[in-house]
Amino acid sequence: MVRDRLLAIGDIHGCLTALKLLLEKVQPTPDDLLVILGDVISRGPDTRGCIELLMELQETMPLVCLMGNHEEYMHDARDSDIACGSWMYFGGEETLLSYDSDYAKADIENVPDRHWEFIESFQDYFETDHEIFVHGMVDPDLPLAEQDSTEFRWRKFTDVRPHLSGKQVICGHTSQKSGIPVNLKHSICIDTNACRGGWLTCLDVNGEVAHQTNEDGEYRMLDMNSLE
């Protein structure tokens, strides 16, 4: 299959304004492939809206969603009161308020089954011939199939070395307070802190540009080669 663009969007964290604007600017088509790097939920104002929008988008184009540590929290909270209690401190509260803005009625039971099905379909990682997409990071010295899957959601973008496969690793999770992606060539981090006054990033992998939007409705484009 000949694909137009290979696109990746970093940690959305409920930032629906930024996500909508980003999709307007990038205009993904059925000939592109879009990878969502996880942490779609929590912290920002509209998790429910972001999930709805991605579910709609998946009907129209190839969309791969990866599991972030926040989706893992939410998943665990469904089956355990203790996990749900701690999730409230880590973004669960904002997530549930997006399903019912009445604080007294906020309850994990308000999340509809089709949203659970969508979130539970998120993958640990996604590979192409030349790239590995993952939420957190990978152990550079182990093949993906031999790694503990918690690494994919929790490992930070620190002391980064090339993966032994030789593939480029594209990830989110480690928020860049600068609002600018980190481009080490062999590895790229595009969590640019959308939910805390930063930017939401869509990387055009082969075009080597990053499209960015924020919750204030601003847009800019960065040349990835200028970020070395």
Can you give the binding site for Mn ion, defined by CB under 5 A?
39, 68-69, 173
CB-nearer residue toward Mn ion: 76 or 100: 76
Q: Which residues contact 8 (CB under 8 A, 6 or more apart)?
A: 34, 35, 36, 37, 133, 170, 190, 202, 203, 205
CB-nearer residue toward Mn ion: 113 or 159: 159
Q: How far is the CB of 145 from Mn ion (least distance, A)?
A: 22
Q: How far is the CB of 187 from Mn ion (least distance, A)?
A: 16
Integer CA distances (angstroms), 2 to 87, 112, 127, 138, 199, in order? 42, 36, 16, 28, 30
Q: Which residues contact 197 (CB under 8 A, 6 or more apart)?
A: 214, 215
Q: How far is the CB of 155 from Mn ion (least distance, A)?
A: 10
CB-nearer residue toward Mn ion: 3 or 202: 202
Place of tokens 């869509």: 202
CB-nearer residue toward Mn ion: 28 or 68: 68
Distance CA 21, CA 142 (A): 38
State which residue has the least CB distance to Mn ion: 173
CB-nearer residue toward Mn ion: 28 or 38: 38
Q: How far is the CB of 10 from Mn ion (least distance, A)?
A: 10
Q: How far is the CB of 70 from Mn ion (least distance, A)?
A: 6
Question: 166 φ, ψ to 5°?
Answer: 80, -5
